[in-house]
Structure 1
Amino acid sequence: MKLSSTTVVMVLVMFVMVLVMFVMVLVMFVMVLMMFMTRRGHPFRPSSYVFLRVGLKSPFTTV
């Protein structure tokens, strides 16, 4: 079974889209978790917040 280049490109694009969706869901989960932590009186560490900001700027280096 020989794969054409267009099929390989489509599979790669679909994989990247699924990866981006997974990263977005993970970021949303972390934000909701931080909201619950701050609401209960446990402030999250600013170091983790800076790490999250850096991860949001360059998501492919953290993955």
Structure 2
Amino acid sequence: MAEEAGTSVEDATEAAVKDVPLGKLGSADDVADVVGWLASAAALVTGVVIPVSGGISPGLN
């Protein structure tokens, strides 16, 4: 996708990170941490969406 836009993957990643308030892209481990938390301490949490987005909210930023 980056190459189709005429840029390198590294440059595209760097540009994307600039839009993320936490300053880093999320990883599978970040998502797994939320899943683990929901499966243990928060068993009574239902009907919510928990964004694992580094603080970026499309349409709000």
Give the TM-score normalised by structure 2.
0.30
Structure with a larger share of its residues in helix: 1
Task: Mark the structure with the bigger radius of gyration.
Answer: 1
Give the TM-score normalised by structure 1.
0.30
